Amino acid sequence: MNLLEVRGLRKRFGALVATDGVDLDVAPGEIHALIGPNGAGKTTLLAQLAGELRSDAGSTRFDGQDLLRLPMHARARRGLVRSFQVTRLFRSLTVGEHLAFAAQASGAREPAPGLLERAGLAGRARDPVDALPHGEQRALEVALALACAPRLLLLDEPMAGLGAQESLAMGERIAALRGTCAVLLIEHDVEAVFRLADRVSVLVGGAILASGPPAQVRADPGVVAAYLGEAET
C-alpha cells in the first residue's frame, strides 16, 4: 500500500494551469524525486500536498485518509511535513531554540534525541542561526522538519545554493532517512537525483510525464526530449 496517493490534482491561477491532473504515488520509506523544467508546477504541487494551497480538483490520500479539506497544520500533525526552498529561520534565535519550537508545534514536548547529529550540527545547539554558514542553515531546515516527526517529508530543493561538498553531505543526510520516513523532494541537480532516489517522477507542463526507477526514467525518450537533454548539457 502506498503512503501517499494523488489522483487528478489540479491548480489554476487565473488562466495559468499550474498542475494539470497530477497522478503520483509515494511508498513508505522511499526517496522519491520530482524533477522537471522551471515552471513545470513542482513547487505548486508540494504546496498542494502540504495544504498550503487548496487544490481545485483531484484527491490526495495519506495512509488511506482523504486530506483534501485538511489545512497545513492538520496534515503536519498526521506526519506530512514540508521544508522550503528558501531558508525560513529566525536569525536571532539559537539552533536549539528553533528545534524546540518545531517540536512543540508538532505536539512533542522536546526534540527527539540525536536530531542535531543526524543533521550534521552536533555541538551547535547554543549557536545563533546567523552564525551558521549557508550549508548548515539548510541542514537546520531539514532538522526542523524532522523535529515534527514526519512520515512523509517534502523537501523543496534542499541542495539549492550549496557547494559541491555541501551538496554531497546533504545527499548523505537525505539518504540516511531511507526506510525511516518517506521523502518526496524537488531537486534540479539531476546527477544527485539519480544517485539518491528510489523512484523519479518527471513533471512537465503541470502533469506527470514519466515515473519509475531512475535508470528507466533517465532512458525514457520523452523525458530526454522534454527535460534531460537540456538539463544534462
Would you say residue 50 lies in a domain? yes
Across 1-14, average pLDDT: 96
Q: Give the residue among 192, 90, 187 at the shortest CA–CA distance from 132.
A: 90
Would you say residue 128 lies in a domain? no
Q: How confident is the model at residue 112 (pLDDT cuts 50, 70, 90)?
A: low
Opening angle at CA 7, ends 231 and 79, nearest 5: 85
What is the spatial distance between Cα 27 and Cα 31, in angstroms, rounded to a whole number? Answer: 9
Q: What is the pLDDT of residue 42?
A: 96
Would you say residue 142 lies in a domain? no
Would you say residue 214 lies in a domain? yes
Higher pLDDT, 127 or 99: 127
Would you say residue 145 lies in a domain? no
Across 2-24, average pLDDT: 96
List pLDDT tens digits, range 169-217.
Answer: 999 999 999 999 999 999 999 999 999 999 999 999 999 999 999 999 9
Q: What is the pLDDT of residue 90?
A: 80
Q: How confident is the model at residue 109 (pLDDT cuts 50, 70, 90)?
A: low
Return the percentage of the chain with pLDDT > 90, whole number. 62
Mean pLDDT of the chain: 89
Number of domain units in the chain: 1
What is the spatial distance between Cα 6 and Cα 45, in angstroms, rounded to a whole number? Answer: 10
What single-letter amino acid sits at 44?
Answer: T
Would you say residue 48 lies in a domain? yes
Exposure letters 193-208 (e unless 16+ CB within 10 A, then b): bbebbbbbbbbbebbb
Q: What is the pLDDT of residue 232?
A: 57
Q: How confident is the model at residue 75 (pLDDT cuts 50, 70, 90)?
A: very high
Checking if the pLDDT of 99 tops 70, the result is yes
Q: Global pTM?
A: 0.90
What's the CATH code of the domain at 192? 3.40.50.300
Cβ pair 142, 135 in contact under 8 A: no
Would you say residue 95 lies in a domain? no
Domain that holds residue 20: 4-87+150-231
Helix, strand or coil for residue 206? Answer: coil
Would you say residue 197 lies in a domain? yes
Q: How confident is the model at residue 85 (pLDDT cuts 50, 70, 90)?
A: very low
List pLDDT tens digits, range 125-180.
Answer: 899 998 888 888 888 888 888 888 899 999 999 998 899 999 999 999 999 999 99
Q: What is the pLDDT of residue 123?
A: 87
Return the percentage of the chain with pLDDT > 70, whole number. 92
